[in-house]
Amino acid sequence: MTTRPRCTIHDHHYGWDNSLSPALEVESGETIEFEVIDSGGGQFTPSSTSADVTALDFSRINPVTGPVYVHGAEPGDALQVDILEFRPSGFGWTAIIPGFGLLADEFADPYLKLWQYSDSSAEFLPGIQVPVRPFPGTIGNAPAETGPHSIVPPRIVGGNMDIRDLTAGSTLHLPVAVPGALFSVGDTHAAQGDGEVCGTAIESAMHVTLRFTLKKAAHLKTPRFSTPGSVTGHIDGAGYQVTTGIGPDLYAAAQDATRFMVEFMTGEYGLSPQDAYVLCSVAADLRISEIVDAPNWLVSLYLPRSIFE
């Protein structure tokens, strides 16, 4: 295994493109620190308001740091990425962006929630604390197809997967599609629920430390990862409030489960619909509970009771 002093990559780009020149070249076994800009490209500050959501420059959305060229990586190999450490900035934001999100037709107006958070929690409102659990929303290799390509959708080589369990201690394996892999990372989140239903999590700039190991001739079809322990035990001790959506369309069922949770929280906790929707996005988990009993499938949305003090 090759070792070298850790360095920090600052270079970032706004789309997947296998013709980009590498920001850094590494050997298998090296550990590198990445300076990651938030998914808004730094356009929100502690003085921003909901009006600033409509002024977003979408050409600056979803920057990723990289790319990193891994010597010896060839199509058919896999890149093992050990996620070692996060150094969060302590400032984040969550937005309802018109036209974006699971319930976009019902939440057409811009909305912005700003956060100041500690290493352990982020206060949503007095009496509501969201556990902080940093992870990269976007992490992947360059696709084989000539670019540029949008960062927004996930791909078979990774990308904007928004897997909240890719926390420190997790190990991710990514298919390599081009020589050198051309790895990049971005879209760091302080917290997110499975599904990221309003379209944004607690978006936050961070430093991320990763170790790369090349796995030759792995022939991995899609990303695969392992976690160091329980993925829900950190918040499930007090139980959950759960709503369901039922029908022949999983997407529509997910919409219903979310819609009914928003309705529940506005009635039970006195939240505004916008706050309830944002809270679902950063703290509640969508799960496919049943997908075998045709013609209807069932999706559940789990909201941890422990976030309410």
Helix axes 250-268, 273-283, angle to 10 degrees: 120
Strand, helix or coil for residue 9: strand
Q: Is residue 120 situated within a structural domain?
A: yes
- Which of 52, 41, 204 lies closest to 122 in space, CA to CA? 204
Please tell me whether residues 71 and 94 are part of one structural domain.
Answer: yes
Name the domain boundary from 226, 251, 279: 226
**Is residue 205 over pLDDT 50?**
yes
Task: Name the domain count of the chain.
Answer: 2
User: Which whole number is the average pLDDT over 96-107?
Assistant: 97
Please tell me whether residues 48 and 171 are part of one structural domain.
Answer: yes
What is the pLDDT, as a whole number, of residue 46? Answer: 97
pTM score, whole prediction? 0.95
Please tell me whether residues 51 and 197 are part of one structural domain.
Answer: yes
Q: Is residue 231 situated within a structural domain?
A: no
Angle at the Cα of 282 from the Cα atoms of 47 and 291, rounded to 5 degrees = 155
Q: Is residue 233 situated within a structural domain?
A: no
d(CA 139, CA 137): 7
Each residue's pLDDT tens digit, 105-155: 999 999 999 999 999 999 999 999 999 999 999 999 999 999 899 999 999
Please tell me whether residues 297 and 188 are part of one structural domain.
Answer: no
Each residue's pLDDT tens digit, 46-70: 999 999 999 999 999 999 999 999 9
Alpha helices in 206-306 (DSSP H): 250-268, 273-283
User: Where residue 293 falls among pLDDT bands split at 50, 70, 90?
Assistant: very high
User: Which whole number is the average pLDDT over 264-281?
Assistant: 98
What letter represents residue 49's amino acid?
T
User: Where residue 236 falls among pLDDT bands split at 50, 70, 90?
Assistant: low
Angle at the Cα of 287 from the Cα atoms of 252 and 155, rounded to 5 degrees = 80
Please tell me whether residues 85 and 179 are part of one structural domain.
Answer: yes
User: Which whole number is the average pLDDT over 73-82?
Assistant: 98
User: Which whole number is the average pLDDT over 179-206?
Assistant: 98
**Is residue 99 over pLDDT 80?**
yes
CB-CB contact of 238 with 304 (8 Å): yes
Q: Is residue 1 situated within a structural domain?
A: no
Distances from the Cα of 286 to the Cα of 26, 174, 185, 271, 280, angstroms:
38, 24, 24, 20, 9
Q: Is residue 234 situated within a structural domain?
A: no
Q: Is residue 235 situated within a structural domain?
A: no
Name the domain boundary from 191, 226, 261: 226
Please tell me whether residues 47 and 130 are part of one structural domain.
Answer: yes
**Is residue 276 over pLDDT 60?**
yes
Please tell me whether residues 245 and 141 are part of one structural domain.
Answer: no
- Cα 182 to chain center, whole Å? 20
Please tell me whether residues 218 and 254 are part of one structural domain.
Answer: no
What is the pLDDT, as a whole number, of residue 6? Answer: 63
d(CA 114, CA 108): 19
Please tell me whether residues 249 and 289 are part of one structural domain.
Answer: yes
Structural domain including 304 reads 240-308
Name the domain boundary from 226, 255, 273: 226
Please tell me whether residues 190 and 302 are part of one structural domain.
Answer: no
- For the domain that residue 91 is a member of, what is the CATH number? 2.60.120.580
Q: Is residue 2 situated within a structural domain?
A: no
Please tell me whether residues 278 and 157 are part of one structural domain.
Answer: no
CB-CB contact of 53 with 112 (8 Å): yes
Output the average pLDDT for the chain: 95
**Is residue 5 over pLDDT 60?**
no
Please tell me whether residues 282 and 214 are part of one structural domain.
Answer: no
**Is residue 285 over pLDDT 60?**
yes
What is the pLDDT, as a whole number, of residue 66? Answer: 97
User: Where residue 234 falls among pLDDT bands split at 50, 70, 90?
Assistant: low
User: Where residue 2 falls among pLDDT bands split at 50, 70, 90?
Assistant: very low
- Cα 147 to chain center, whole Å? 23
- For the domain that residue 291 is a member of, what is the CATH number? 3.10.28.20
